[in-house]
Amino acid sequence: EDQVTQSPEALRLQEGESSSLNCSYTVSGLRGLFWYRQDPGKGPEFLFTLYSAGEEKEKERLKATLTKKESFLHITAPKPEDSATYLCAVLTYNNNDMRFGAGTRLTVKP
């Protein structure tokens, strides 16, 4: 069965302390991997799509990378406004099935 696992469940950082969030997946065939940001009480907001191993995308302090088994969301010198839950989702070739991970709740303290 297709599975998507995000780790850690929660991460607390000091402002400026860089780190990475992980999204590992076991799927029958990867069509694409998506990263979203979700603020409390809001819907997810699209960040990146990655389609093939080795691909990287960047936006401000965020950089997403993809391997054949996992994706990382690297956060460089985070600020308090980066605090949110980060979701990854995997789209597979199996019935175009989209599976979301449970998310990593990131808190950045000033």
Partner 1 sequence: NAGVTQTPKFQVLKTGQSMTLQCAQDMNHNSMYWYRQDPGMGLRLIYYSASEGTTDKGEVPNGYNVSRLNKREFSLRLESAAPSQTSVYFCASSETGRNQPQHFGDGTRLSIL
Binding site for partner 1 (CB under 8 A): 4, 31-32, 34, 41-46, 49, 87, 89, 91, 96-103
Considering the complex, what minimum distance in angstroms separates the CB of residue 15 from partner 1?
27
In terms of Cβ atoms closer than 10 Å to its own Cβ (0-12, 13-18, 19+), residue 84 is buried
Considering the complex, what minimum distance in angstroms separates the CB of residue 48 from partner 1?
9
Classified as helix, coil or strand, 80 is helix
Whichever of 38 and 76 has its CB closer to partner 1, that residue is: 38
Whichever of 17 and 105 has its CB closer to partner 1, that residue is: 105
For residues 11 and 103, what is the distance between their CA atoms, to the nearest angstrom? 11
Whichever of 61 and 99 has its CB closer to partner 1, that residue is: 99
Nearest alpha carbon to residue 104 among 67, 69, 68, 62 = 62
